[in-house]
Amino acid sequence: MTCASYDFLVIGGGPGGYTAAIRAAQKGLKTCLVERSLLGGTCLNRGCVPTKTLLTDALMIAAARRCYFMKGEMNVSWRRMQNHKAELAKNSRAGISQVLKESGVHIIEGEAVFLNARTIRVTTVDGQRDLTATNIVIATGSLATYGSGLAVDGRQVLSTDDALKLDTIPRSLAVVGAGNRGVEFAVLYHNLGTKVFLIEKEKQVLPRMHWEIADRYKKTLLDRKIAVHTRTSLVATRMAGKDGVILTLDADAGRKEFQTDKVLLTGMRRPDYANLCLEAAGLTLQDGCLGFGPGMETSQKGIYVVGDAAGPPYLAHKAIAQAMVAVDRCRGLDVGSRLLLIPDCIYGDPEVACIGMTEDEALSAGRRVKLGEFHFMGNGRAGTIGQAEGFVRIVSDAKTAEVLGVQMIGPAVTELVALASLAMQNGIDVTGIKQTVFPHPTLSETFFEAALASHDEAIHMRVESEELHPEDLQLK
Ligand SMILES: Cc1cc2nc3c(=O)[nH]c(=O)nc-3n(C[C@H](O)[C@H](O)[C@H](O)COP(=O)(O)OP(=O)(O)OC[C@H]3O[C@@H](n4cnc5c(N)ncnc54)[C@H](O)[C@@H]3O)c2cc1C
């Protein structure tokens, strides 16, 4: 058995893991990355990238069908869409592998397990080897879990992994869970011509989002003929011959059954530490999660946890941000209070993006808030692309003009939210946004106009700002 030693060792090659490895190597640390499956992790191989690839293709098909100067029938090749998705992932994996190697990271394909707080054993196709390191990052990702009595079979009852690689487009699909991923799959398959039923146990779709955004989003789904069942839980599934599945649902009106071709269980995520043998490293779990302090360092000095393995929110950009902080911490830099602002995004048509506090959260925190809102209806660029639904809302402190949160629904808001992120992270307040020049005609002007609207100064639409006091929360 061979033994090697490193300054920095990463377990897991997803966005959290490969970012940590590249950054550590850039900073001169002797670095190793261990990955048991495909580089790029969930994000690149079965998450962010494949879903957005198929979704974009599906939206293109829908746009072409709606297009006023196109005529005639169009044939869609699902196989080509699948090939395009696979090709993109393959090329991106090659790109990540190249950057890792060029940065000087030693990549090992194999499964890691802790022997103690400084040593891991890796099982590869060629056997086992032990590696020691001064710093170890756990970036092992997360797994989906389903309610009791529910399990995927990969044929009629699907996981998100299965739903990305179906042989054919189903005629009907029930999507269970109307969170970020559920609604993206619903929009994807709807645009491919599938009859979609969206089932959510909470009282609103997008349960993590502001109720007004969720309401507007639901209205769009209904306008597009996606059936939405909120306050409805899936309790059981059973096969209906080989072509369908019967769902048993509990709703306010009682228990009912209905049949679809397939059902997708989006599930809940939880950190994946399977077979890592954390106890050998002296690590224990609290509520199924590894705890961490500043710089993502666990209770064991020199061991860090980043990304999905560090618990919710389960987002790739959070994994990347935590990875950067962990490397800085291990280099002895002051990491302060970074990481507070994580945008939450939904892709498709329309898009949704939120960051920071909603007005209710700000009021609960005792802040007096101003709401500045501008609608895409008044934005020239939105008109030119035929997507004028939605709005941008800025929640700011009524006294200091500090931006406390931003909620957006409409075209390309998953890009626009980066403006809010940049402003908030760097202390640019509403006045600073108002003093910035935004190119015309662009969707970004909606953010500018929302800042102007906070002081009743919007140009392309007459909108009045609203001021709320903490006491108003009781009246809501
Ligand atoms: C359908 C879907 C869509 C998504 N869309 C988005 C999106 O649009 N935007 C977004 O921000 N997030 C999205 N996510 C979430 C995103 O994919 C994850 O948050 C992100 O991949 C987490 O990165 P990570 O590096 O922490 O873990 P992962 O990407 O899961 O990587 C963990 C890696 O560790 C490896 N590993 C685990 N244990 C071991 C071991 N013992 N030894 C060696 N290797 C090991 C695994 O093989 C895996 O490759 C989506 C997820 C899903 C499922």
- Convert the pLDDT of each residue in 338-389 to its tens digit: 557 999 999 999 999 999 999 999 999 999 999 999 999 999 999 999 999 9
Q: Is the CB of 278 under 6 A from ligand 1?
A: no
Task: Please report the atom of ligand 1 found closest to the CA of residue 37.
Answer: 47
Task: Please report the atom of ligand 1 found closest to the CA of residue 113.
Answer: 41
**Ramachandran angles phi, psi of 227, nearest 5°:** -75, 130
Ligand 1 centroid to Cα of residue 102, in Å, is: 23
Q: Which amino acid is at 160?
A: T
Q: Whose CA is nearest to atom 51 of ligand 1?
A: 47
Task: Please report the atom of ligand 1 found closest to the CA of residue 39.
Answer: 49
Q: Is the pLDDT of residue 242 over 80?
A: no
Q: Whose CA is nearest to atom 47 of ligand 1?
A: 37
- Based on the residue annotation, tell me whether 440 is a catalytic residue of this protein: yes
Ligand 1 centroid to Cα of residue 41, in Å, is: 5
Confidence bin at 476 (pLDDT 50/70/90): low
Ligand 1 centroid to Cα of residue 142, in Å, is: 6
- Could you tell me the CA-to-CA distances from 170 to 41, 141, 156, 261 in Å, in that order? 27, 30, 10, 6
Query: With the C-alpha atoms ordered 303, 93, 190, 187, is the resulting torsion angle positive or negative?
Result: positive
- Could you tell me the CA-to-CA distances from 382 to 31, 441, 445 in Å, in that order? 47, 9, 10
Ligand 1 centroid to Cα of residue 266, in Å, is: 15
**Cα gap 53→197, rounded to integer Å:** 22
Ligand 1 centroid to Cα of residue 308, in Å, is: 7
Query: With the C-alpha atoms ordered 62, 65, 70, 72, is the resulting torsion angle positive or negative?
Result: positive
- Convert the pLDDT of each residue in 168-216 to its tens digit: 999 999 999 999 999 999 999 999 999 999 999 999 999 989 999 999 9
Task: Please report the atom of ligand 1 found closest to the CA of residue 19.
Answer: 25
Convert the chain into a string of H (helix), E (strand) and C (coil): CEEEEEEEEEECCCHHHHHHHHHHHHCCCCEEEEECCCCCHHHHHHCHHHHHHHHHHHHHHHHHHHCCCCCCCCCCCHHHHHHHHHHHHHHHHHHHHHHHHHHCCEEEECEEEEEECCEEEEEECCEEEEEEEEEEEECCCEEEECCCCCCCCCCCEECHHHHCCCCCCCCEEEEECCCHHHHHHHHHHHHCCCEEEEECCCCCCCCCCCHHHHHHHHHHHHHCCCEEECCEEEEEEEEECCCEEEEEEEECCEEEEEEECEEEECCEEEECCCCCCHHHHCCCEECCEECCCHHHECCCCCEEECHHHHCCCCCHHHHHHHHHHHHHHHCCCCCCCCCCCCCEEECCCCEEEEEECCHHHHHHCCCCEEEEEEEHHHCHHHHHCCCCCCEEEEEEECCCCCEEEEEEEECCHHHHHHHHHHHHHCCCCHHHHHCCCCCCCCCCHHHHHHHHHCCCCCCCCCCCCEEECCCHHHHC
- What pLDDT is recorded for position 138? 98
Q: Is the CB of 35 under 6 A from ligand 1?
A: yes
**Cα gap 163→160, rounded to integer Å:** 5
Catalytic option among 317, 440, 455, 460? 440
- Convert the pLDDT of each residue in 299-331 to its tens digit: 999 999 999 999 999 999 999 999 999 999 999
Q: Is the CB of 11 under 6 A from ligand 1?
A: yes
Q: Is the pLDDT of residue 3 over 80?
A: no
- Convert the pLDDT of each residue in 244-278 to its tens digit: 999 999 999 899 999 999 999 999 999 999 989 99
- What pLDDT is recorded for position 148? 81
- What pLDDT is recorded for position 218? 97
Ligand 1 centroid to Cα of residue 226, in Å, is: 29
- Could you tell me the CA-to-CA distances from 457 to 86, 358, 429, 449 in Å, in that order? 48, 22, 16, 8
Q: Is the pLDDT of residue 66 over 90?
A: no
- What pLDDT is recorded for position 46? 97
Q: Whose CA is nearest to atom 7 of ligand 1?
A: 48
- Nearest CA among 384, 439, 386, 435 for reference residue 416: 439
If one counts every other C-beta atom within 10 angstroms of the C-beta of residue 125, the result is 6
The upper half-sphere exposure of residue 91, i.e. CA atoms within 13 Å in the direction of its Cβ, equals 8
Q: Model-level pTM?
A: 0.96
Q: Is the CB of 16 under 6 A from ligand 1?
A: yes
Q: Is the CB of 15 under 6 A from ligand 1?
A: yes
**Cα gap 270→141, rounded to integer Å:** 9
Q: Whose CA is nearest to atom 8 of ligand 1?
A: 48
Q: Is the CB of 182 under 6 A from ligand 1?
A: no
Q: Is the CB of 316 under 6 A from ligand 1?
A: yes
Q: Is the CB of 412 under 6 A from ligand 1?
A: no
Q: Is the CB of 323 under 6 A from ligand 1?
A: no
**Cα gap 131→122, rounded to integer Å:** 8
Cα angle 117-119-123, degrees, rounded to a multiple of 5: 130
Structure tokens at 407: 């909620």
**Cα gap 43→48, rounded to integer Å:** 5
Ligand 1 centroid to Cα of residue 11, in Å, is: 12
**Cα gap 278→289, rounded to integer Å:** 11
Q: Is the CB of 264 under 6 A from ligand 1?
A: no
